[in-house]
Each structure stands twice: as C-alpha cells, then as structure tokens.
Amino acid sequence: MPNFESALSIALALACLALLARILQAGLIAKFRFSFGFFALLVLELSLLMLLPRKSDGYTWVYLVGQSVNLLVACGVVREIYSLALNDRPALAAFGEKVVLFAFGFAVVIAATSLILDPKVLPGQFPYLHWLFTSERAGNLVLVLLLLMIGFYVTWFPVRLQRNIQLYAVGFTVFFLARSSGLLAINLSSPTYTLRISNTMMVAETACIALWVFGLRRERDDLASVGRRRWNPVEMDRLSGQLDSINTALTRFNHR
C-alpha cells in the first residue's frame, strides 16, 4: 500500500506540472494567477513529502505548513473565480470578493461548530493532526459553498461566462469537496483506514486536474456562453435588468 501511495503522489505531482504547463501554453497565467500559484505550491509540498519519512516530524511540519498556506491561496482562487464570473459588473465583483474574505474568516467559527461531527480523537490518532484536519475541512467546505453560490448565480441569471471559468469553478468545487469529505472520513475512522482514504482523495484530485489539463482552451479560443441552455428572451431581459440594477445600487453605495 505505501508503494501505491507513492505512485499516487507522483501521479498527482506530474498532473499538477502538466496543468501548470497547460496554463502557460494556453496564455492563461494572467487570468488564473492564484490557481497557478495553488498548484505550484502543491507540487512543492508533494515533492518535499516524498523525500521525507512518513512518520517523521519533518513530514508532519511540511504537511501542516503546506496545507495551511494552500488553504489561504485557495481563498485567493475563489476570489479570482468570483472576479472573473462577475467581470462585466464590477460593483458586484468587488462585493463578491469581499464576501469571500468575510466567509473565509467565518470558517473559523464553522470549524469550531463542526467539532460536533468528530469531537473524539480515536486511539492511534494524533490530536494536533485531528484538529488540523477539522480546521482544513471547515475551510474547504466554506470554499465549496462559495463556489456553489457562483454556480447558482450563473444558472439563475443570464450570465455570459467563458468555458475555462466554468471548468475551473466546477473542478474546484469537486476538488475542495473531495478534500473536505476525505478529511472528515479520516477523523471518524480508525487510523488503519487513513491511508486508503488519503489515496482516494488523491485519485479524486488527480482526476480534477486531468479534467483541466485536457479541458482548458487557449485564451483566444475561449468563447463565452450563457449558463442556462434555454432562456425565454423576456425572462432573460428581466433578470439582466435586475443584475444591472443591483450593480448600479452597489456602485452608488461604494461611492458614498
């Protein structure tokens, strides 16, 4: 099993490198700067972890620092997606970015509340890792909820959104949901199942990254489309008017 885990770690790192190369090749680095940084840091973390013994203090500290930094960068990733999704309405975009920051701060409260799901440290588990997983799980869950809000926005309103942005939003939703679910399962399960759950998480993460590698389009070929397939023209005009009104109201409020 450890050899299988090592193979999965290598596969995940290689998938991240392929995605970084794809972002550069497609000319998307300026648009997805936080996403690029997120996966660059993930490659660095995976590389260091593969060089260290699994049960060593160094391994634990690299994981702890690496995941904490990646969670902060992930907040930037979601802000980036909000900004791109609301690009044609700047006041709404600015408001959405503030919502992400407040929500991420609120994750601390959620982390404390979510202790009711896995308050007990099982025999064989390390307490500090248990609480780290709880905090990381809460942060990932908040990011999932924020991305679902964007999904609701582009589904309910007639928003023209580039395919790359849609792909990133869906992929990161699955990515963060897989981590949040996996970390909860680790805390609730016997340590004998930790490696299997961790491997399942890495498979899900690698699948998301592979989706991006093969799905991303070059900037010049990335055409925008409306989220909902069938729109009633009258309804489309009405909802577009509502969005414009909200954007105008927020613009006036910001200039007070």
SS3 242: helix
Summarised one tens digit per residue, pLDDT across range 204-215 is 999 999 999 998
Rounded-to-integer distance, Cα 111 and Cα 128, Å: 14
State which H helix or E strand residue 107 sits in. Answer: helix 90-113
Q: 160 pLDDT exceeds 80?
A: no
Q: Give percent of the chain above pLDDT 90.
A: 21
pLDDT at site 218:
83
Q: 239 pLDDT exceeds 90?
A: no
Rounded-to-integer distance, Cα 76 and Cα 256, Å: 27
User: Which stretches of 142-245 are assigned E, i.e. beta strand?
Assistant: 160-162, 224-226
SS3 146: helix
pLDDT band at residue 36 under the 50/70/90 scheme: very high
CB 20 within 8 A of CB 39: yes
Range of the domain at 103: 2-254
Q: How many CA atoms lie within 13 A of 14 on its CB side?
A: 7
pLDDT at site 18:
95
Beta bridge partners of 224: 162
- Domain count within the chain: 1
Amino acid identity of 99? V
pLDDT at site 102:
66
Query: Of the candidates 142, 133, 141, 124, which has an alpha carbon nearest to the alpha carbon of residue 184?
Result: 133
* Tokens of residue 143, six digits: 């990011």
Q: Give percent of the chain above pLDDT 70.
A: 64
pLDDT at site 206:
94
Rounded-to-integer distance, Cα 103 and Cα 97, Å: 10
pLDDT at site 146:
78
Question: What mean pLDDT, rounded, does the chain reach?
Answer: 76
* Tokens of residue 134, six digits: 């709880």
Summarised one tens digit per residue, pLDDT across range 69-127 is 888 898 888 888 877 877 665 555 565 556 656 665 665 566 556 555 555 555 555 56
Residue with the larger pLDDT of the pair 200 and 192: 200
User: No. of H helices and E strands in the chain?
Assistant: 8, 2
pLDDT band at residue 1 under the 50/70/90 scheme: very low
pLDDT at site 40:
95
Q: How many residues does the chain have?
A: 256
User: Ranked by mean pLDDT, which of 54-58, 148-152, 213-217, 226-230 comes out on top?
Assistant: 213-217
27: left (phi over 0), alpha (psi -120 to 50) or beta: left
pLDDT at site 5:
79
- Describe the crossing of helices 127-156 and 90-113 by its angle, rounded to 10 degrees: 150
Q: 198 pLDDT exceeds 60?
A: yes
